[in-house]
Amino acid sequence: MNVLEVKNLRKCFDDNLVLDDLSLTVPDHTATVLIGASGSGKSTLLRCINLLDSIDDGSIYLDGREISDPGIDVDEVRRSLGMVFQSFNLFPHMSVLDNITLSPIRVHKISKAQARDEAMSLLRRFDLADKADQFPDRLSGGQQQRVAIIRSIAVKPRLLLLDEITSSLDPVLVNEVLSIVRDLKTEGMAMVLATHEMGFATQVADEVCFLKNGKIVERGPASQVISAPQHVDTQDFLQRVHEAGRL
Ligand SMILES: Nc1ncnc2c1ncn2[C@@H]1O[C@H](COP(=O)(O)OP(=O)(O)O)[C@@H](O)[C@H]1O
Ligand SMILES: [Mg+2]
């Protein structure tokens, strides 16, 4: 069963074609990793999947249901998706625990007690239980991003969308964030993620897609796309990543 199918997606911003006939299939329990230079369309693709950006052509299916249909209930679709962005976007005026339980209580109508129990067990699991009552500004960037991931999975999404979640972090904090994602992958959470961390991409990806100008130029297992790229554009990109010291 495929969690996600993106078919012939086209997206323009004015006359700038940002996603060009792009297709993608994500089987359940797998991770698809998007790599590519800045501006290649990774964030736009994730935003289109989450219905944050409108699309110009093509279709998107979640669990076989077309979510790009104009008649779809957008809020209901978003309830099945978890998304974490590059910038830490926790609610600053709420404690860690309230950040995590807000959506389960308000949107998913779970009882307050149950939402708190589930949130605390996630916080314990990821070594953040002692931060439950703190406000986000008291946490390190890595801790904030771990809370953001916990918040996104507290609603038990069908698919997790992660957009360069370590790009704003101090290098020493990157691993504590990526290790949560590795854990979730091992548990079988389906995900699509954009990253510049090629080592991490190699560890979690079932499929790596290299994007350029809104097209998937090369796709396959990390052992091909990252370790032995076939396409000259992928080779050029990885060479530049390598020179920047991220490979
Ligand atoms: N809201 C927007 N309005 C206009 N152009 C945008 C907007 N968001 C992204 N773009 C353009 O879309 C292209 C792809 O951007 P993006 O999806 O952010 O790429 P990436 O995440 O791979 O860096 C870029 O040319 C960018 O300038
Ligand atoms: Mg981006």
Higher pLDDT, 172 or 125: 125
Burial class (CB in 10 A: 0-12, 13-18, 19+), 137: exposed
Q: What is the pTM of this model?
A: 0.95
In this prediction, residue 246 carries a pLDDT of 61
pLDDT of 58 strictly over 80: yes
In sign, the C-alpha dihedral spanning 127, 129, 131, 135 is positive
Each domain of the chain, given as residue ranges in start order, spans 2-80+158-243, 92-156
Whether residue 88 contacts residue 137, with contact meaning beta carbons closer than 8 Å, is answered with no
Q: In what order do the strands lie in the sheet with 191-194?
A: 81-84, 159-163, 191-194, 31-35, 207-212, 215-220
Read off the pLDDT of residues 167-192 as tens digits, 9 standing for 90 and up: 989 888 899 999 999 999 999 999 99
Please state whether beta strands 16-27 and 191-194 pair in parallel, antiparallel, or not at all (unpaired). unpaired
Average pLDDT, the chain: 95
Mean local confidence (pLDDT), 81-109: 93
In this prediction, residue 216 carries a pLDDT of 98
Closest atom of ligand 1 relative to the 214 alpha carbon: 14
Residue range 2-80+158-243 in CATH 3.40.50.300: yes
Burial class (CB in 10 A: 0-12, 13-18, 19+), 210: buried
Within 6 A (CB) of ligand 1 lie: 13, 16, 18, 36, 38-44
CA 45 to ligand 2 centroid distance, Å: 9
Mutation pick for ligand 1 pocket among 18, 40, 195 (CB with most ligand atoms within 8 Å): 18
Instruction: Quickly count: other Cβ atoms within 10 Å of residue 59's Cβ.
Output: 15
pLDDT of 245 strictly over 80: no
pLDDT of 160 strictly over 90: yes
In 3D space, the residue among 17, 151, 210 whose CA is nearest the CA of residue 162 turns out to be 151
pLDDT of 54 strictly over 90: yes
In this prediction, residue 247 carries a pLDDT of 58
